[in-house]
Amino acid sequence: MQLNDKVIIITGGGQGLGRAMGEYLAGKGAKVALVDLDQARLDDAVAACKQAGGDARAYLCNVADEAQVSQMVARVSEDFGALDGLVNNAGILRDGLTVKVKDGELSKMSLAQWQAVIDVNLTGVFLCTREVAAKMIELKRTGAIINISSISRAGNMGQANYSAAKAGVAADTVVWAKELARHGIRVAGVAPGFIETEMVAGMKPEALEKMAAGIPLKRLGKPMEIAHSVAYLFENDYFTGRILELDGGLRL
Ligand SMILES: NC(=O)C1=CN([C@@H]2O[C@H](COP(=O)(O)OP(=O)(O)OC[C@H]3O[C@@H](n4cnc5c(N)ncnc54)[C@H](O)[C@@H]3O)[C@@H](O)[C@H]2O)C=CC1
Ligand SMILES: CC(C)c1ccc(C(=O)O)c(O)c1O
């Protein structure tokens, strides 16, 4: 699929990897619908996408809220008059050991900590995929849905909630690729390793060096490298049901 003039929803498009994807896809002429929780961040990201050469609009929406997702998808397709793809990128971290003992004190990952991550990172992906696929079928549009998983899907200490969600996203990428192929919709995923986002850049240099030392390529990935792989997955019409690992060779 050529990205020029295609309408693509990017969740979590207000900052970090989602914003980089917006700029990259807009640079290829895509019309991007950026979805996030913060209007000011969205406005800034929309301006950056327009600067990159494509059309862009902002949509305030919590991906974990069924009614908001349904309304957002309807509005995007009305505003742009089409819908050709989705990047399920919005995600949160609430790390912690499931059971921790420190100085003789025992603490547990709370149910709220577990549920918040499942709600956004797994249920949010389900809701957006379901609504976008239904709208694309209704509009008789073919295209692709790209899910952002993580290397943590293999099981990362301190991330029982996050690893479960990202493993679920990877499994459902296969499910949806099988279910939606008959409608001309491909579904693929990217599993990034450590990427140099604002949050990571704010870490202490010693901690960053230690992190990079464990990666075979000896550096963190760049947001634009993830955006490039998302564009590749949209553009390659024979790619479906698979997860592209983009982690500099790191294995968990
Ligand atoms: N940064 C990294 O090293 C890696 C990131 N990932 C994944 O990539 C994706 C993007 O990560 P980053 O850009 O680093 O994160 P980030 O925290 O910089 O950006 C995530 C965006 O999602 C938005 N968001 C959060 N909850 C939302 C909700 N309920 N509804 C709508 N928007 C919501 C946030 O407001 C934020 O703008 C996430 O799914 C993350 O799990 C995966 C592997 C590594
Ligand atoms: C442990 C993995 C590579 C990881 C690291 C950092 C973030 C983040 O800052 O959002 C992730 O989402 C991860 O999956």
Tokens describing residue 196 = 């140099």
Query: Closest Cα to atom 5, ligand 2: which residue?
Result: 194
> Quick one: how far is CA 149 from the chain centroid?
7
Q: pLDDT tens, 210-233?
A: 889 999 999 999 999 999 999 999
Does the pLDDT of residue 206 top 90, yes or no?
no
Active site residue 232: no
Nearest ligand (C-alpha, residue 230): 1
Say what the ipTM of the complex is.
0.97
Domain ranges of the chain: 7-245
Distance (angstroms) between ligand 1 centre and the Cα of 31 equals 21
Nearest protein Cα to ligand 1, atom 18: 16
The token pair that represents 230 in the structure block: 């998302």
User: What fold, for 7-245?
Assistant: Rossmann fold (3.40.50)
Nearest CA to ligand 1 atom 41: 91
Among 122, 111, 113, smallest CA distance to 63 is for 122
Spatial separation of the C-alpha atoms in residues 218 and 248, rounded to whole Å: 8
Give the model's pLDDT for residue 205.
84
Residues of the chain with pLDDT > 70, as a percent, come to 100
pTM of this prediction? 0.98
pLDDT value of position 221: 97
Alpha carbons 76 and 79: distance in angstroms, whole number: 5
Give tens-digit pLDDT for 142-194: 999 999 999 999 999 999 999 999 999 999 999 999 999 999 999 999 999 99
Three-state secondary structure along 12-64? Answer: CCCCHHHHHHHHHHHHCCCEEEEEECCHHHHHHHHHHHHHHCCCEEEEECCCC
The 8-class DSSP code of residue 123 comes to I
